[in-house]
Amino acid sequence: MDQSKQERRSVSKAPEKARRRRHTTAQKLAIVRECLVPGASLAGVAMAHQANANMVRKWVVKFQRGEFGGAPDAGMKLLPVAVRKPAATVSVPMKVAIPTVTLEIELGRGVVRFYGPPDPGLLQPFVNALTGR
C-alpha cells in the first residue's frame, strides 16, 4: 500500500461542532416562569432544559424588564386610581415621647442600651453572661 493512502485512512475526522440551540419565545417564557417559582434554582431549571444558566439569567432579567413583548405578569391587572387633593386639616402638634436610656452596658463589640424601667427578667441573662455565672 502506498504511504499517502495509509495516511488518509489513519486521519480521523474532527468531531463536528455542536449546533447552537435556538429557543422560541414561548420556550424562553416557560423556562423563565419556572425560574421565578419560589425556591426554584435557576441553574437547575437551565440544566433541565439543556440551556446555559447565564443565558437563562439574561432571559429572566429581560422578562422582568418587560422586554418579551408583554407585561411581566399577564395575569396582573392595574386598578384605577383617583388622585384628590387632601381635605383641609387642622394641624395639631404631636408630642412624641422619646424614651430615655436608663441602663447602658458597654461591651467590646458594642453597647447594649435598655430604655424605660429595668425588667429583672430581661436583665438577668445579661448579668449572667457578664459575670460568667
Does 62 fall in a domain?
yes
| Each residue's pLDDT tens digit, 64-97 | 888 876 545 555 677 888 888 877 776 777 777 7
Structural domain for 108, as ranges: 101-131
Look up cell 460568667; give the residue: 132
71 with 112, same domain: the answer is no
Residue 20: band (very low, low, confident or very high) from pLDDT cuts 50, 70, 90: confident
Asked if residue 71 and residue 26 are part of one domain, the reply reads yes
Number of domains observed in the structure of the chain: 2
Q: Is residue 33 part of a domain?
A: yes
Q: What is the pLDDT of residues 29-75, one digit of tens each?
A: 999 999 988 888 989 999 999 899 999 999 999 998 888 765 455 55
Residue 126: predicted pLDDT:
74
pLDDT at 52: 93
Q: Is the pTM of this model over 0.85?
A: no
Dist CA 45 CA 38 (whole Å): 12
Which residues, in sequence order, are CB contacts of 65 under 8 Å at separation 6+? 72
